[in-house]
């Protein structure tokens, strides 16, 4: 099994619940990190990374902690397989479409379709999260 880091920011727990499901899918070698406890220099210790962040501001990533972390990771990820996930509220997922496009435009190896859900993840969203964990760990 590959070593998968699951790195997330969550204000009210919805994206955290998704992250826990990604971790379950990633198996025994998966590790969970709150965004504040992860840094770009840790990427070399993992085979794949799942990034989770909800829609914040106006259809953007959380700007204080997660966006700077993401920016620093983009320059060192290289071909490391990644997956994106997160929760949203009243929008239509625009933040994730933009994030996914930016990741691909930066040449990153986006290994699976992103997973989004409205507010708290239901069983179907949690299953999708487990699947991206499994895909990254294969």
Residues in contact with ligand FMN by CB under 6 A are 10-16, 54-59, 87-91, 119
| 3-class DSSP state of 87 | strand
For the chain, how long is the longest CA-to-CA vector?
38
* Burial (0-12, 13-18, 19+ Cβ within 10 Å), 85: buried
What lies within 8 Å, CB to CB, of 74 at 6+ separation is 103, 106, 108
The two three-digit tokens of residue 47, written as one number? 């085979």
What lies within 8 Å, CB to CB, of 78 at 6+ separation is 109
What distance in Å separates the CA atoms of residue 54 and residue 91, rounded to the nearest whole number? Answer: 11
């Amino acid at each position: 099994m590959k070593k998968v880091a699951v790195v997330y920011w969550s204000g009210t727990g919805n994206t955290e619940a998704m992250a826990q499901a990604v971790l379950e899918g990633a198996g025994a070698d998966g590790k969970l990190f709150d965004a504040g406890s992860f840094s770009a220099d840790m990427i070399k210790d993992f085979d794949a990374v799942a990034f989770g962040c909800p829609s914040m501001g106006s259809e953007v990533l959380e700007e204080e902690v997660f966006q700077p972390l993401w920016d620093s990771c983009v320059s060192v990820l290289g071909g490391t397989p990644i997956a994106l996930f997160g929760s949203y509220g009243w929008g239509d997922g625009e933040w994730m479409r933009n994030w996914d496009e930016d990741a691909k435009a930066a040449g990153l190896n986006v290994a699976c379709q992103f997973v989004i859900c409205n507010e708290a993840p239901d069983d179907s969203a949690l299953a999708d999260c487990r699947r991206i964990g499994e895909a990254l760990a294969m």
